[in-house]
Chain A
């Protein structure tokens, strides 16, 4: 189906090129030959990618991994290479949005990717990832029940296997706000609360991400962060716009550093990054992280296999390898994000397992971000307009 779309595209470009050269004054014209037979009629028909015929422990070549930066302990990679006699190349991406088009275009050459929740549903809808052959991944039984089925982005768990999860919330510098700071988004969005806790002036940072930041505002207003109601979205937009004077930056990369260096006092960001940063501060107790009581985002990154992965069996084996109890624990002990692996818990360091930042006690007010389809454009537009 992808190929058909490409060939049609080539035909369209060829037509355009012929048109351009006909009107233009060029002497040496290059006609993009061929491909004109691909421009046939018909909508793109949905043919789901087939399940790869693989057995547990089978490998069919070296593994090309496309993952978030520093998201896997290098020792795990070495261990996999040693155990299965294949080599692993790793390339990294910095956002779901930078990874998705590369996979969707086809021919990426990657065998293994780690998309987040809402991106999984998009990849499934576009048939960019293939179904997981459960027979090749026996360790899938190690997953906690809540991660095995009923995840909104992949209800049957057919296409993705949870890797790690975390939350999005606020990191606060207690030396600015005082120790008894209320756990509310109002620290950013409510001018009265902000003033009360010395957060006037530009002391806040918000994620430079429409869904996360509008989601926080929506939660503060008591709405779902997956709303498709234009009125609710507008309220959230106005809230962010009005908070502009208190926001130093919209930043998705360095919020934790800005907090620790004193360039900001309340920053919006992802749980795991804060922990690493707080650990290295002179006085770790000076900082805290929480998901505000109004609720916030819970995200889960998942292992998946591109539709045209050259080595799907090695990818299955790698997924199974990471789902092993001890190795699942090693992932979490290395980068401080929570594990969806029940069997791994006994091997996870106690200080990590008991850290409420990693494992929040109450997850009832957390929501996954889900793809809102056409309404995504409204989110994007509202965010641009709110930032000014």
Chain B
């Protein structure tokens, strides 16, 4: 872009740009440091503290005992189950959301806006009420069971199974996949796709080599926004899974609330956050590079 610019100009420009960047970032930065990093620091401190016999937290006698809990077999079982269900949820959301977002992005602007809002409107009712509505839909003799019976598949008992949990999670998090994906696909340079077709590439080849890479940032963001909350979900597993499928989110809730063992809850959360942070950043980085 600036092949004609002198090195001095380049340098001044660079410095200027850096200052602009810092200025733009500053408000969010300050806000997050004060209202997120400091509170987070408090919880990290708690993870090294001790639970008193009443369940309060004694901020002295620092130790690593709470981290030892991570080695428990129960925790490992829950962890692997959560990972598996979260991956499954993310995969299903991707398969459903990609063609949907593509379709959405290729509509006329007005239709597109209407359709996009149409995706979000159900989510402005109430999270719990939606979950309970699913419970009715999936219940014994509920509409879904009646439907499968009518088409000859026989009665289904989905409620209180892992299938119901995944279904509930997909329902809850699908918009998190659709929004960033749509935002990325919609701004794609369609002339590149036409060019690919003009050069004789098949539909699949074009998708694989042009469309998908172009939409990659949306896919990356979407899958993070689905995967992570699925891992921490606890209301849906409880309502639709009947509490039979303990996931990581429920485990953390049980440590903080039921067991009133804050150091343990804090330790599990801290480890989870560190692992997920590293994974997220490297995932985004790799997503950015392959572009």
Contact = CB atoms under 8 A, between A and B. Distances in A.
Answer whether A and B touch in the complex at a CB cut-off of 8 Å.
Answer: yes
A5 interface: yes
B244 A249 contact: yes
B261 A250 contact: no
Contacts of A85: none
B22 A28 contact: yes
Nearest to A248: B160
B182 to A, nearest CB: 33
Interface string A27-51: 1101010000000000110000000
B41 interface: yes
B51 interface: yes
Interface stretch (A53-61, A178-186, A217-225, A379-387): A379-387
Interface string B111-129: 0000000000000000000
Given A17-B38, A43-B60, A380 B160 contact: no
Interface stretch (A95-103, A158-166, A269-277, A347-355): A95-103
Interface in A88-138: 95, 97-98, 100-101, 104, 122, 125-126
A125 B52 CA distance: 11
B120 to A, nearest CB: 27
Interface string B18-51: 0000100010011001100110011011000001
Contacts of B38: 13, 17, 32
Nearest to A244: B244
A97 B60 contact: no
Contacts of A383: 258
B41 A13 contact: yes
Contacts of B55: 122, 376
A97 B260 contact: yes
A163 to B, nearest CB: 22
Nearest to A378: B259
A387 to B, nearest CB: 6
Interface residues of A, number: 51
* Residue from B33, B38, B53, B55 with most neighbouring chain A CB atoms (10 Å): B55
Interface of B: 22, 26, 29-30, 33-34, 37-38, 41-42, 44-45, 51, 53-56, 58-60, 72, 74, 77-78, 132, 135, 139-141, 157, 159-160, 238, 242-244, 246, 251, 254-255, 257-261
29 contacts: A9-B42, A13-B42, A16-B44, A17-B37, A17-B38, A20-B41, A28-B22, A28-B30, A43-B60, A97-B257, A97-B258, A122-B55, A122-B260, A126-B54, A208-B238, A210-B259, A244-B244, A249-B160, A249-B243, A250-B242, A250-B243, A250-B244, A261-B139, A263-B140, A376-B260, A383-B258, A384-B78, A387-B244, A388-B77
Given A101-B260, A122-B54, A377-B51, 12 more contacts: A30-B33, A95-B257, A97-B257, A126-B56, A248-B242, A261-B139, A374-B51, A380-B258, A383-B258, A384-B74, A384-B78, A385-B74
